[in-house]
Amino acid sequence: MGLRKLAARNTLYLQMAQTRDKGPMAQTRDQEMTAILRQSQMFWRLSDDQLDKLVAISDGECHGPGESIFAAGDSARKVYVIVEGRVALEMAIRIGSRTRKQATIDVLGAGEVFGWSALTEKRILTMSAVATENTRLLALDGDDLRNLWNEDADICRKMADELVNLVSDRLAHTKRTLAHVLGVASHDLRAPLATVQSCLDVLLGGFTGELNSKQIELLAGSRQRISDLMSLTDNVLDISYIEIRQVDFEKTSLLELVEKSIADVQGIAVRKNIQIENHVAPALPPILGVPKRLRQVIMNLLSNAVKYTPADGKVTVHSSETDDSVQLHITDTGIGIATEELARVFDDFYRGSRGDAEGAGLGLSIAKKIIESHGGLIWAESPCPETGIGTKLTIALPKVALAATKADSGRSVTTGARILVADDDPEMLRATTLVLESGGFQISAARDGIEALSKVEADKPDLLILDLMMPEMDGFEVLKRLGERKRTGRGRIPVLVLSAVREGSSRRRYELETSSDLGADGYLEKPISPPLLLNEVNRILTEKGSKICH
């Protein structure tokens, strides 16, 4: 470390240490640190007394240009506020088996906050932070901050609200920017590639004259590489923004999707003399899904199975059911996945160490995002438990009580139920309404907690679907008022929470504020999965009808 950098750091440490004294200089430093916190993104809503508590667990750091503040994979111990300077957040991206690069995800300036992982349960850093110029930081000890949250529910609530908004805004901005940049790049790459592929198709089709066997072989190989490159371009765009609109969900046959996907990869399988067997049950119940996206997943898994299976091998697709899900299993006789890599195969840009197949390591990551947007799960086992060789990939998609979503569903207690949806996001409100209306429900809407309570009293809906982060009055306060309503004998309204805040965090906050349970009949995290939403609504309304009948 250079002498100037060391001197600057020691000067700051000396200044921060003086805050522990009681003299005038200490008071000046406390005031400066309080001002820094008050002007930051996360702490501006706190009172002076609350800021004083944060100052007591704060320390100062200095970092020179290019100096690492922390690295991905390290234990998260501090939350940082930038006093002056700039910090780049970086993530390692692995493309292929040999190329690994650091990509800058965001660059932060004065007043911005980073290192939020110190407040989570796992407390593992997901990216690296590097100073891009001389940078001063205010560092808050993560353990002390978590203890302070437990002691002061108001600090916890105010900081959690700002953290949710901050993360949501930054994620939305990043996704929009990345989607736009990659969308333009994808189009600019696809256009010439499509032209080359079309010319190769003309040549291979014999439209320009007869070709000899060597020419056909070279052109066919070139066409395949162009096709692979176009798929890679599409995957890069998909990984930044996978559009799964609720209005696109429809009743879907998995058997039909499997048959079409097998046809898509049959050509590659034939060239390697790999047999693909389809043992999906004809009577497999339909699901609610986006056929185009589910076919993309199945085709990708089949393509991977063929790619990593040696010649003369076999790939098998079969199905199974549980009480609440329909499952597809894709097994192969291939090279398998190393045990230590199983936990990472669904990460963005990750490719296993086995095999030398081309690709950017995006296929399984995209598949996971699509399946999770359908309310499902996907996992890998290697070797396959049944055969002891190769790999087994399983997709589990939720069953949906489709009969209850039709207008002619007869005696169903859920048909025609009146549901009040409270959400301040107009687009989310519209999406939720469309899904529920497809299930035959009568929908009314509220844009904040005050309007929601008013409509509960006036309309007495069968179910309230409640967002937690709303203006005027948030969902936590609504739940408190509904609890009081029940205690005063005015009846109980079933509540399904639909929020971007994770369930564990919401329950902890409510328990800290009220010393009681959250009091919701169900909890779903945004973004919504139409099948899960309909399932949960039907479950709650059915249970309500059963209680009324008995």
Q: Parallel, antiparallel, or unpaired for β 250-252 and 287-289?
A: antiparallel
Q: Which of 11-25, 144-158, 217-231, 306-320 has the highest mean pLDDT?
A: 306-320
Confidence of residue 233 (pLDDT cuts 50, 70, 90): low
Rounded to 5 degrees, φ, ψ at 439 are -90, 10
Q: Which residue has the higher pLDDT, 263 or 98?
A: 263
**Statement: residue 44 has pLDDT above 60:** yes
**In the structure encoding, which two tokens stand for residue 496, read together?**
């399904």
Match 């998909």 to its residue by tokens.
Answer: 238
Higher-confidence residue of 222 and 413: namely 222
Q: Are 39 and 111 in contact (CB under 8 A)?
A: yes
pLDDT per residue as tens digits for the range 197-224: 777 877 887 777 888 988 888 888 888 7
Neighbours of 340 (CB within 10 A): 9
Selecting from 3.40.50.2000, 3.90.420.10, 3.40.50.2300, 3.90.226.10, what CATH number does the domain 413-549 have? 3.40.50.2300
pLDDT-derived band at 358, boundaries 50, 70, 90:
low
Mean pLDDT in residue range 351-362: 57
Confidence of residue 434 (pLDDT cuts 50, 70, 90): confident
525 confidence band (pLDDT: 50, 70, 90): confident
pLDDT digits 0-9 by tens, 315-340: 999 999 988 889 999 999 988 888 88
Mean pLDDT of all residues belonging to the chain: 79
Over the stretch 172-193, which tens digit does the pLDDT of each residue have? 666 666 655 665 666 566 667 7
Using an 8 Å Cβ cutoff, are 54 and 140 in contact?
yes
| pLDDT tens readout for residues 74-97 | 899 999 999 999 999 887 765 444
Whole-structure pTM over 0.75, yes or no?
no
For residue 349, is pLDDT > 80? no
The residues near 525 (Cβ < 8 Å, ≥ 6 apart) are 499, 500, 501, 502, 503
Let me know the angle formed at the C-alpha of 264 by 337 and 317, rounded to the nearest 5 degrees. Answer: 50
Q: Is the peptide bond before 471 cis (omega within 30 degrees of 0)?
A: no
359 close to 514: Cβ distance less than 8 angstroms: no
How does residue 397 score in pLDDT terms, banded at 50, 70 and 90?
Answer: very high
Whether residue 548 has pLDDT greater than 50 = no
Say whether pLDDT at 503 is over 80: no
Determine the pLDDT at residue 131: 94
Which of the pair, 10 or 237, is modelled with greater confidence?
A: 237
Length of the chain: 550
What pLDDT was estimated at residue 404? 41
Does domain 3-151 correspond to CATH entry 3.40.50.720?
Answer: no
Residue with tokens 């005696």: 411
First-last CA distance in the chain: 75
DSSP result, 385-419: TTTSSS-EEEEEEE---GGGGSTT-TT-TTTT-EE
The domain 247-398 belongs to what CATH superfamily? Histidine kinase-like ATPase, C-terminal domain (3.30.565.10)
Contacts of 335 (CB under 8 A, 6+ apart): 308, 309, 310, 354, 355, 390
Q: Is the pLDDT score of 547 beyond 80?
A: no
Residue 511 pLDDT grade (very low, low, confident, very high; cuts 50, 70, 90): confident
* CA–CA dist 345, 502 (Å, integer): 25
pLDDT at 182: 60
> Dihedral of the CA atoms 193, 184, 105, 38 (nearest 10)?
-170
Q: Give, in order, the Cα–Cα distances in Å from 192 to each of 127, 133, 189, 195.
A: 35, 41, 6, 5
Query: What pLDDT sits at residue 316?
Result: 95
**390: phi > 0 → left, psi -120 to 50 → alpha, else beta; which?**
left
Question: pLDDT band at residue 1, thresholds of 50, 70 and 90?
Answer: very low
Asked if pLDDT for residue 402 goes beyond 50, the answer is no
How far apart CA 465 and CA 488 sit, in angstroms, is: 22
Q: Is it the case that residue 69 has pLDDT exceeding 90? A: yes
Mapping DSSP to helix (H, G, I), strand (E, B) and coil, where does residue 377 land? Answer: strand
CB 399 within 8 A of CB 287: yes
Per-residue pLDDT tens over the stretch 105-141:
788 898 888 988 888 877 888 889 999 999 999 999 9
For residue 247, is pLDDT > 80? no
User: Which amino acid, one-letter code, is at 507?
Assistant: R
d(CA 110, CA 117): 20
Q: Are strands 495-499 and 463-466 parallel, antiparallel or unpaired?
A: parallel
Is residue 128 a contact partner of residue 71, using CB atoms and an 8 Å limit?
Answer: yes
Of 535 and 101, the structure prediction assigns the larger pLDDT to 535
Contact residues for 69 (Cβ-Cβ < 8 A; gap 6+): 61, 63, 80, 87, 129, 130, 131, 137
Residue tagged 């399904």 (tokens):
496
443 pLDDT more than 90 = yes
- Candidates 224, 389, 395, 397; CA nearest to 298 is 395
The beta-strand segments (E) located in 333-471 are: 377-381, 392-398, 418-422, 442-446, 463-466
Most confident option among 144-148, 172-176, 219-223, 399-403: 144-148
Per-residue confidence (pLDDT) for residue 379, from 0 to 100: 93
